[in-house]
Amino acid sequence: MDDPTAQPATIHLDLLSLMTNASWPVRITTGLLVLATAGVWIITVLKYIQLSRLKSLAHDFERRTRNASSGADLYQIANDRRASPGARVLQALSLRGSAASVERLRAVADRAIVSERQNARVMMSMLGSIAAAAPFIGLFGTVYGIMDAFVRIGAAKSASLPVVAPAIGEALITTAIGLAAAIPAVIFFNSIDKRVGDFIAELEAAAGEWVTLIAEGGEPIPLVPGHARPQAR
């Protein structure tokens, strides 16, 4: 007769033991997911550092250009703050100068802003790929683990818990790791994408003011050192 005062046995989830006894496909799948999880956090940290630096440079540059009264003033500020995204936009505009039409200057600015957007979105495609693929990779490990469980049942000719439980545990752990990689990747991707969108929107608004100031000034803008003005043909 069972002792009613007996305490239930404590069950521990030993992930290391599960992975040690898992089949090679499950181990490989788990390894890929662990690398993907680490990649998500590394990319996220790098992107936040990059965007914080870009926004800091952009805000400082825009603050300095508020008092500019001519295209030459804008060039001087850009020459002093060459690392700023706004300075790179003005460098592109300086190749055309005020002789170009407003539409042409805006097109040049837009093209320079596209380059800034591409720079700000570096590695985001990898983050999106992890967010999309990690659950399916984990599902692959789960499906293989369940298949392995059925093979063990057939070999042992028994569906008892000691036969089935290890394989099912191995299978489900890959899904858990896949979700652990995908969920943060989705959250961070959306957060970083919004930051990039806000950064580009601010740069576009500032570039519109710069184009207007350059077009209204009428004076030629000096070339940025290291750039040559295209020869007329």
The answer to whether 29 touches 174, Cβ cutoff 8 Å, is yes
Place of tokens 């700023």: 84
Query: Is residue 34 predicted with pLDDT exceeding 60?
Result: yes
What is the per-residue pLDDT across 139-155, written as a single tens digit (0 to 9) for each? 888 888 788 777 777 77
In this prediction, residue 18 carries a pLDDT of 58
The answer to whether 89 touches 80, Cβ cutoff 8 Å, is no
In this prediction, residue 17 carries a pLDDT of 57
Average the pLDDT over 54-81 and give the result: 86
Place of tokens 């002093």: 80
C-alpha torsion angle, residues 10, 12, 18, 20 (rounded to 10): -110
Spatial separation of the C-alpha atoms in residues 120 and 53, rounded to whole Å? 11
In this prediction, residue 92 carries a pLDDT of 86
Average the pLDDT over 21-49 and give the result: 87
State both tokens at 101: 């039409």
Distances (CA, A) of 30 to 18, 23, 25, 105, 127: 11, 11, 9, 52, 18
pTM of the entire structure? 0.77
The residue length of the chain stands at 233
Spatial separation of the C-alpha atoms in residues 189 and 29, rounded to whole Å? 23
In this prediction, residue 38 carries a pLDDT of 95
